[in-house]
Amino acid sequence: MKQIIFQQLKNELITAGNKKGHPFRFFSLASMDNHNNLQQRTVVLRKVSDELELYFYTDKRSNKVAQLTANQKTSTLFYHPEKLLQLQIQGISSLLRDEKQVQQLWSEIPLNSRKDYATKRSPGSTIANHEEIDYLIEENNFCVIKIVPKVIEYLRLGNPNHVRIKYTKDNNKWKGQFLVP
């Protein structure tokens, strides 16, 4: 049963990376700032590999990039309200360094969405009002973050019982252990 559920969660994540309306498409990402405070934000899942590597895009000047560079440990949280399914994934993050891959992904972003990675001022900079945003013309600050999962905690609420399983990656194999929900 644990392996069947693992395959289901894997399929759910891979689908979310390809399907815009999927509930897992937007997920919470937690990282540690340089004062050892947890920081959370919602990011967009862009791709999930067969090995369950999670990919999302961001501005390379954002606080999360600096935080994930200083401390690669991260935690994510996904929730599917119709299935009453929660996935918490702990993993190791890194910037995608293959420029050819990064450029390929950049070329797939619709033109009207590219401005999200091309502001003249870095994300989080103070401005007088929301219309005071200038954009770069030929440059961008696009980068890709990859998260390699190490632990996945699955929780599905249901009757007569909830199901909770902790999957741990050991020697490239996932092993599951039932937990009390």
pLDDT in tens, 62-78: 999 999 999 999 999 99
Look up the pTM and report it: 0.93
pLDDT in tens, 101-142: 999 999 999 998 999 999 999 998 899 888 889 988 889 999
Domains, the chain, with CATH or none: 2-179 (2.30.110.10)
* Cα distance between residue 138 and residue 69, in whole Å: 26
